[in-house]
Amino acid sequence: MIASESLFIAVASWATIVFILVSNVENMILVTAISERPSPELEAKALLQTEWWSNEYNSSSPCKWPGVTCNHAGRATDIVLRFYEHEMYNRRREFGKFNFSSFPNLARLSLVGLGLVGHIPAEISTLSKLTHLDLSANELTGQLTLSLTSLPWLKIILI
């Protein structure tokens, strides 16, 4: 009887220690995620990395850039570029250079005829507010990722 009580106390103590450690790790992850939230400056940097804009658009806020619409907080909600409006329409660009995690407020992504090549990355499903995706007149290959089913309101145009 005493051995089973000791075993119970040892297991309960071990479970308590594990619970405390896991709780602390979860809190550290949450604090890190909150402190590393994308900002307008990070959005601008991520957009420049796509090479869809020339370096003349190097301001800290992309809200004044052609094709970018922002909300009242200065965060990109729409990115709408068309080859006939854009200075880089004859270049080939990798769609995979787009950093989806930098745009938590993006609702519309329309990149018509920009010469995008490659596949549509699964990370696109992290754009939880995305309702409109137009990638028509590009040279994208591969299949659509099943992760897009997590965006039930998404309208997709690929032709």
Which pLDDT score, from 0 to 100, does residue 70 have? Answer: 96
Q: Which of 36, 38, 76 is nearest to 57 (CA)?
A: 76
Domain that residue 125 falls in:
40-157
Share of the chain above pLDDT 90, in %: 31
Looking at the domain assignment, is residue 147 inside a domain? yes
- pTM (2 decimals)? 0.71
Looking at the domain assignment, is residue 123 inside a domain? yes
CA dist., res. 147 & res. 106, Å (int): 17
CA dist., res. 94 & res. 22, Å (int): 39
Looking at the domain assignment, is residue 20 inside a domain? no
Domains held by the chain: number: 1
29 pLDDT above the threshold of 70: no
Which pLDDT score, from 0 to 100, does residue 84 have? Answer: 57
96 pLDDT above the threshold of 70: yes
pLDDT mean over 16-31: 49
Looking at the domain assignment, is residue 28 inside a domain? no
Give me the CATH number covering residue 151.
3.80.10.10
Looking at the domain assignment, is residue 6 inside a domain? no
Looking at the domain assignment, is residue 9 inside a domain? no
Quickly count: other Cβ atoms within 10 Å of residue 91's Cβ: 12
Q: pLDDT by residue (tens digit) across 43-76?
A: 998 998 888 887 777 777 899 899 999 999 999 9
- Cβ density class 102-126: b for 16+ within 10 Å, e for less: bbebbbbbbbbbbbbebebbeebbb
Looking at the domain assignment, is residue 12 inside a domain? no
Chain mean pLDDT for the chain: 78
Which pLDDT score, from 0 to 100, does residue 31 have? Answer: 39
CB 118 within 8 A of CB 141: yes
Looking at the domain assignment, is residue 141 inside a domain? yes
Please say whether the dihedral angle defined by the alpha carbons of residues 68, 44, 125 and 159, taken in this order, is positive or negative. positive
